[in-house]
Structure 1
C-alpha cells in the first residue's frame, strides 16, 4: 500500500510548486505525471522537502542527461542498481528505456536476476561488472578499478549512490 499521497500542483506550497515546475519542464516532463498531474515515482517524495529534493533531482538530471556514459551503459548501470535493490518502479521505467536502446528481454532478465550476461561491447561489459561490484561489495578491487577510466568510475559511483537513494525512498514510501 502506498504511504505517500499524490500531490497535485494546485495543492503545493510555493517551494514545492517551483520544484514541481522544474521537474515537469525538464526532459523527464510529462512522463513523470499521473492522471491528476501529480508527480510520480521518486519525484513526488522530493516535494516533501524542496530544499533537498531540488538538488537531488538536479543530480539525477546530470546523471541521466549530462554524463559521459553512453545511453546503453547508463541504462545498464541504472538497471543493475534497481535490480539489486528490487526497485520495481525503477526497473519498470528503465527497462522500457533500455528496450528502446536495443536490449533484449533475455539481457534484461539477466540484469534483473544477476545472472551472467555476455555483452559484445567491451565498455558495456565493464560497466556491468563494475556496477555489480559496487552494489554487492560497495568497493572495487584493483582489477575492477582498472576496467574503466577514472572519470567513468566517478560517474558510476555517483549513479550507483543516487539510484540506491531513490530505491530506498521508493521502498519506504511504498511507490
Structure 2
C-alpha cells in the first residue's frame, strides 16, 4: 500500500506546484501523471521538499537526456540498478524503453535476475560490468575502472547513485 497520497496540482502549495509544473512540462512529464493529475513514481515524493526535489529531478533529467552515454548503455545501467534493488517501478518504467531500443526478452530477464545478459557490443558489456560492480561492491577494481573513459565513468556512477536513491525512495514510500 502506498504511503503517500498523490496530491492533485490544485492542492499543492506554490513551491510544490512550481516543481510539479517543471516535472510535468519536461519529457518525462506525460508518463508520470495519474488520471487525477497526481504525480506517480518517485516524483510524488519530490514534492514533499521542493528545495531537495528540484535538484534531484534536475539531476535525473541530466543523466537521462544530457549525458554522453548511449541510450542503450543508459537503459542497461538503469535496469541493472533496478534489478539489484528489486525496484518494480523502475523496471516497469524502463523495460519498455529498453525493448524499443532492441533489448531482447532474454536480456531483460537476465537483468531482472542479476545475471549477465548476452551483449554483442563490447562497450555495452563494459557498462554492464562496471554497473554490476558499482551496485554489488560499491567500488571498482583497476581493471573495471579502465573499461570506460573517465567522462563516461563519471556519468555512469552518477546515474547509478541517482537510480539507487530512487529505488530507496520508491521502497520506503511503497510506490
Which whole-Å CA distance do the structure 2 matches of 1:3 and 1:12 have between them? Answer: 18
Which whole-Å CA distance do the structure 1 matches of 2:98 and 2:112 have between them? Answer: 12
Q: CA offsets, 1:54-109, max 9 Å, x none?
A: 00000000000000000000000000001100111001000011011110110000
1:139 matches 2:152: no
Deviation of 1:136 (Å): 0.1
1:39 matches 2:33: no
**Which residue of structure 2 lines up, in the alignment, with residue 16 of structure 1?**
16
TM-score by length of 1: 0.99
Deviation of 1:116 (Å): 2.5
Which whole-Å CA distance do the structure 2 matches of 1:173 and 1:139 have between them? Answer: 28
Deviation of 1:115 (Å): 1.5
Which whole-Å CA distance do the structure 2 matches of 1:29 and 1:130 have between them? Answer: 30
**Which residue of structure 1 lines up, in the alignment, with residue 112 of structure 2?**
112
Which whole-Å CA distance do the structure 2 matches of 1:85 and 1:36 have between them? Answer: 29
Deviation of 1:117 (Å): 1.8
TM-score by length of 2: 0.99
**Which residue of structure 1 lines up, in the alignment, with residue 130 of structure 2?**
130
Q: CA offsets, 1:117-157, max 9 Å, x none?
A: 22111111000000000000000000000000011110111
**Which residue of structure 2 lines up, in the alignment, with residue 75 of structure 1?**
75
Flag structure 1 segments of 5+ consecutive residues without an equivalent: none
Flag structure 2 segments of 5+ consecutive residues without an equivalent: none
Which whole-Å CA distance do the structure 2 matches of 1:95 and 1:116 have between them? Answer: 16
1:154 matches 2:154: yes
Q: Is the 8 A contact 2:85 2:167 kept in 1?
A: yes
Which whole-Å CA distance do the structure 1 matches of 2:62 and 2:116 have between them? Answer: 29
Which whole-Å CA distance do the structure 2 matches of 1:116 and 1:75 have between them? Answer: 15
Which whole-Å CA distance do the structure 2 matches of 1:152 and 1:31 have between them? Answer: 27
1:98 matches 2:98: yes
Q: Secondary structure at the match of 1:6?
A: coil
